A and B are shown apart, each in its own frame.
Chain A
Amino acid sequence: MYLLKLAYRNFFRNTRRSIISGISVAIAITVIIFAQSYMRGVIENISENIVRLISGHIRITTKEYDRRERMIPLSEALDLTPELYDELNHEEILIISPRIKFGVLLGEKELNIPALGYAIDPDKETNISGLDKRIIEGSYLDASSNGTIIGNELAKRLDIGVGDTLTIITRTAYDSPTGINLLVKGIFSIGIGGMDRSVFYIPLNVGQQLLDLEDRATELVIIVKNPNKAINIAREIRLHGDYSIVPFQYNPILKYINTFSFVYSIFYAIILIVACSTIANTMIMVVYERTKEIGMMKAMGLNNLSVAGLLTLEAGIIGFVGSFLGAVIGGILSYWLKYQGIDMSMMSSSTSADMPYGPIIYFSPTPMIIITGFLFGLLAAIIVAFLPITRITKLEPAKALRTV
Chain B
Amino acid sequence: MKILNLAWRNVFRHRRRTLITAAAISVGLAVMIYMDTMMNGLDNLAAGNIIDFETGHLEIFAKGYYREEGLFPLDTIIENPEFILQRIAKIKTIKGVTPRIKFQCRVNNGIDELPVLGIGIDIEKEPKVFETANTVVKGEYLKNPDDILIGKDLAKDMDLDVGSFLTIITRDRYGTYEAYDFTVSGLINTGHPLLDRNAVLMHINIAQRLLSMYGITELCIKTRDDNKLMQLKNEIAGKIGKDFEVYTYKELNAGIFDLSEMKRSGQFMLALVVVIIAAIGIINTMLMAVMERIPEIGMLKAMGFGNYNIVKMFIYEGGIIGIFGSLFGCFLGLLASLHLVYYGLDLSHMLENIDIIYPVKFIITGEINYMTVLSVFIFGVVVSVIVTLWPVRKATKLQPVEALRHV
Contacts and interface: CB of A to CB of B under 8 A. Distances in A.
A278 B174 contact: no
B23 A277 contact: yes
A91 B16 CA distance: 65
Interface string A247-286: 0000011011001000000010011011101101110110
B17 A284 contact: yes
B215 to A, nearest CB: 13
B20 A112 contact: no
Which range holds the interface residue count of chain A? Answer: 35 or more
B113 interface: yes
A109 B24 contact: no
Interface residues of B, number: 62
A289 B289 CA distance: 12
Contact of A70 (B27, B106, B114, B356): B114
B273 A112 contact: no
Nearest to A153: B68
Given A110-B75, A112-B72, A252 B352 contact: yes
A114 B71 contact: no
Contacts of A197: 70
B24 A285 contact: no
B17 A270 contact: no
Nearest to A18: B284
Contacts of B352: 252
Given A255-B350, A256-B351, A103 B115 contact: yes
A274 B288 contact: no
Q: Classify the interface of chain A: helix, strand, loop or mixed.
A: helix
Contacts of A75: 111
Interface in B305-358: 350-357
Interface in A25-82: 27-28, 31, 35, 68, 70-73, 75
A355 B113 contact: no
A20 interface: yes
A281 B114 contact: no
Contact of B259 (A28, A171, A281, A347): A347
B273 A27 contact: yes
Interface of B: 14, 16-17, 20-21, 23-24, 27-28, 31, 68, 70-75, 103-106, 111-115, 157-158, 170-171, 173-175, 177, 255-256, 258-259, 262, 270, 273-274, 276-278, 280-281, 283-285, 287-288, 291-292, 350-357
B27 A350 contact: no
Contacts of A355: 354-357
A254 to B, nearest CB: 11
Nearest to B76: A110
B141 to A, nearest CB: 26
Contacts of A194: 355
B356 A354 contact: yes
A352 B356 contact: yes
A17 interface: yes
Given A103-B113, A271-B274, A288 B171 contact: no
10 contacts: A27-B277, A105-B106, A109-B75, A109-B173, A113-B71, A255-B350, A267-B31, A350-B255, A352-B357, A353-B355
B171 A112 contact: yes
Interface string A7-18: 000000010110
B73 A111 contact: yes
A350 B115 contact: no
Given A70-B114, A259-B350, A281 B103 contact: no
A186 to B, nearest CB: 23
A113 B175 CA distance: 12
A24, A103, A197, A252: most-surrounded residue (chain B CB, <10 A): A24
Contacts of B256: 350
B350 A111 contact: no
Contacts of B16: 284
A23 interface: yes
Contacts of A112: 72, 74, 103-105, 170-171
A213 B105 CA distance: 24
A253 B352 CA distance: 10
Contacts of B281: 24, 274, 277-278, 281
Interface string A176-192: 00000000000000000
B114 A21 contact: no
Interface string A198-213: 0000000000000000
Contact of B21 (A109, A277, A346): A277
A24 B17 contact: no
A73 B112 contact: yes
A235 B357 CA distance: 33
A351 B291 contact: no
A92 interface: no
B112 A274 contact: no
Contact of B280 (A73, A171, A278, A280): A278
Contacts of A111: 71, 73-74
B157 A70 contact: yes
A273 B25 CA distance: 12
Contacts of A109: 74-75, 171, 173-175
Nearest to B175: A109
B46 to A, nearest CB: 14
B345 to A, nearest CB: 10
B173 to A, nearest CB: 6
Contacts of B111: 71, 73, 75
Contacts of B355: 194, 352-355
Given A275-B277, A354-B354, A355-B355, 6 more contacts: A17-B287, A27-B280, A280-B20, A284-B16, A354-B355, A355-B356
Nearest to B262: A347
Given A103-B113, A284-B14, A274 B258 contact: no
B27 A270 contact: yes
Contacts of B114: 70-71, 103
Contact of B258 (A27, A289, A350): A350
A108 interface: yes
